[in-house]
């Protein structure tokens, strides 16, 4: 495949820090480079505390657990997102209230959230910014959640660096989760960061991620190290990955983020010309990071969109469908709140296109021309 959805961007800096870590022989959690990464990540987002963990799914699980989510609690989750948002709630035995999204940015729809909060009284809401675009109703939803005492976990796995009113996403809820698996805004293979300004919540998160064993520091007596408070998890990031993460965050603002935004702007410019409708809109006062560029086919049926996708793949252009609507996974405990079942339409009519950092104008024109050839010739 020549044009990839998201090709990792690694440099000599990643190698330098990985070698550094190897030379220390310390490969497990709490490595020096991991700590530096956590500090730099915190500084980038403007949130006091960050912990590097092994996946976004694990981070979401920790976030829910730290807020005390358990059996019979309800959690609002957008119906159009990565299945991890749902799996994490399921791991807590919570009931998912799947709420449909709006069409402009594919974020949670405020009007439906309002209905869901009043009717189901959830403990937590997961606010996800999809494909690099800040969710349209973020401010209104945050206000509503404050009023009804609903905790907000923000998921910026797809939108690290995006802003609303110049404030970075990740700062609107009480906990932020950012996956950093290889295809995200920064990538280390498999991993994530969980951040919070709330000291008490953050300490709980640290404890749960480290087996729920409270006496782990050098100062604690050696014979207390195996003591635990109860069920816990082993979720901390190993040092080799923390070393890659350090290099990626150091290169993020000045290099990677700029490249990514540039690719998004090329799509905006060159797809507009031919009336190919990109899936999401940039809204007033928000700045997206264009994690994935996707196209929405209003007038093409599902079958033909699939054929187009297969044709593009055969031309070396990697494509993906939209997210599978979460309400269709029947093995989870969930309730679906919707008006028009819009997430299914988005799933059926969306093609996600190559969005790697290094795509050039000529690459994006090539992709556009292949789409046009198909539309002309086969329809
Ligand atoms: C990728 C992603 C996750 C899951 O992260 P993993 O590191 O793959 O477990 C969660 N939420 C969103 C919005 C994502 O895009």
Token representation of residue 163:
């802003």
Q: How far apart are CA 243 and CA 14, in angstroms?
A: 7
| Ligand 1 centroid distance, CA of 177 (Å) | 9
Distance 221 CA to ligand 1 centre (A): 38
Within the chain, residue ranges assigned H as helices are 12-24, 32-45, 56-66, 84-91, 110-120, 138-147, 199-209, 239-251, 257-272, 302-314, 342-349, 361-378
Residue 109 has pLDDT above 90, yes or no: yes
Mean pLDDT of 239-253: 98
Here the tokens at position 80 are: 């159009």
pLDDT for 157-208, tens place per residue? 999 999 999 999 999 999 999 999 999 999 999 999 999 999 999 999 999 9
pLDDT of the residue at 273: 83
Backbone angles phi and psi of 295, in degrees to 5: -120, 140
Question: Looking at residues 283-312, what average pLDDT do you find?
Answer: 95
Please give the Cα distance from 67 to 46 (Å, whole number).
Answer: 21
How many C-beta atoms lie closer than 10 Å to residue 368's C-beta? 18
Cα 121 to Cα 67, 146, 274, 282, 331, distances in angstroms: 15, 13, 46, 32, 23
Distances from the Cα of 257 to the Cαs of 5, 69, 248, 271, 358, in angstroms? 16, 34, 10, 21, 11
Nearest CA to ligand 1 atom 4: 56
Residues with CB under 6 A from ligand 1: 55-57, 81-82, 84-85, 128, 155, 157-158, 179, 181, 192
Q: Are 85 and 269 in contact (CB under 8 A)?
A: no
Quick one: three-class SS letters along 44-109?
HHCCCEEEEECCHHHHHHHHHHHCCCCCCCEEEEECCCCCHHHHHHHHCCCEEEEECECCCCCCEC
pLDDT at 70 over 80: yes
Asked whether residue 379 carries a pLDDT value surpassing 80, the answer given is no
Distance CA 294, CA 71 (A): 37
CA 26, chain centre distance (Å): 29
Closest atom of ligand 1 to CA, residue 59:
9
Radius of gyration of the chain (CA): 21
Query: How far is ligand 1, taken at its centre, from the CA of residue 84, in Å?
Result: 6
Q: Is the pLDDT of residue 86 over 90?
A: yes
Query: What's the pTM?
Result: 0.97
296 confidence band (pLDDT: 50, 70, 90): very high
Q: How many A from CA of 179 to the centre of ligand 1?
A: 5
Q: Provide CB contacts within 8 A for 185, sequence distance 6+.
A: 132, 158, 159, 160, 161, 178, 252, 256, 257, 260, 289, 291
Residue nearest to atom 5 of ligand 1 (CA): 56
Which protein residue's CA is at the shortest distance from atom 3 of ligand 1?
Answer: 56
Distance in angstroms (rounded) separating the CA atoms of residues 148 and 139: 15
pLDDT, mean of residues 56-82: 98
- Given a contact cutoff of 8 angstroms between Cβ atoms, the answer to whether 150 and 117 are in contact is yes
DSSP H or E segment with residue 214: none
For residues 209 and 53, is the Cβ–Cβ distance under 8 A? yes
Segment 300-320 mean pLDDT: 96
d(CA 311, CA 372): 12
Cα first-last separation, the chain = 25
Position in ligand 1 atom list of the atom nearest CA 55? 7
**Following DSSP, what letter does each residue of 161-180 receive, concatenated?**
T-EETTEETTSSSSEEEEE-
Look at residue 299 in the predicted model and tell me its pLDDT: 86
Q: Look at residue 350 and give its three-state secondary structure.
A: strand
Q: Which of 181, 189, 233, 235 to mutate to test the pocket of ligand 1 (most atoms within 8 A of CB)?
A: 181
Residues 12, 33: Cα–Cα separation, whole Å: 15
pLDDT range class, residue 122, cuts 50, 70, 90: very high
Distance CA 159, CA 38 (A): 18
């Amino acid at each position: 495949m020549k044009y990839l959805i998201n090709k990792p961007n690694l440099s000599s800096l990643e190698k330098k820090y990985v070698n550094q870590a190897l030379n220390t022989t310390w490969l497990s959690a709490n490595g020096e480079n991991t700590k530096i990464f956590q500090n730099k990540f915190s500084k980038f987002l403007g949130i006091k505390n960050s912990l590097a963990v092994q996946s976004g799914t694990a981070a979401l699980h920790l976030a829910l657990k730290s807020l005390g989510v358990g059996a019979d609690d309800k959690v609002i989750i957008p119906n159009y997102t990565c299945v991890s948002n749902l799996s994490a709630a399921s791991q807590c035995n919570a009931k998912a209230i799947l709420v449909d999204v709006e069409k402009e940015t594919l974020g949670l729809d405020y009007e439906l959230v309002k209905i869901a909060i009043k009717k189901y009284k959830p403990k937590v809401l997961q606010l996800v910014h999809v494909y690099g675009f800040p969710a349209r109703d973020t401010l209104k939803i945050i206000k509503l959640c404050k009023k009804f005492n609903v905790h907000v976990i923000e998921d910026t796995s797809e939108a690290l660096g995006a802003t609303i009113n110049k404030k970075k996403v990740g700062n609107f809820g009480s906990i932020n989760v950012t996956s950093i698996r290889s295809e995200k805004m920064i990538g280390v293979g498999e991993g994530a960061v969980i951040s919070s300004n709330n000291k008490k919540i953050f300490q709980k998160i640290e404890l749960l991620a480290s087996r729920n064993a409270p006496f782990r520091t050098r100062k604690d007596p050696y014979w207390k190290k195996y003591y635990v408070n109860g069920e816990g998890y082993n979720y901390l990031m190993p040092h080799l990955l923390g070393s890659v993460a350090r290099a990626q965050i150091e290169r993020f603002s000045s290099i990677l983020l700029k490249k990514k935004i540039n690719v998004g702007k090329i799509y905006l410019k060159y797809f507009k010309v031919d009336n190919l409708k990109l899936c999401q809109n940039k809204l007033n006062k928000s700045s997206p990071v264009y994690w994935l560029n996707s196209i929405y086919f209003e007038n093409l049926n599902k079958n033909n969109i699939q054929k187009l996708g297969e044709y593009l793949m055969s031309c070396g252009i990697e494509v993906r469908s939209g997210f599978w609507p979460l309400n269709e996974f029947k093995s989870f405990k969930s309730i679906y709140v919707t008006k028009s079942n819009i997430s299914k339409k988005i799933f059926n009519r969306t093609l996600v296109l190559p969005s790697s950092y290094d795509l050039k104008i000529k690459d994006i024109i090539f992709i556009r021309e292949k789409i046009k050839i198909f539309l002309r010739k086969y329809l």
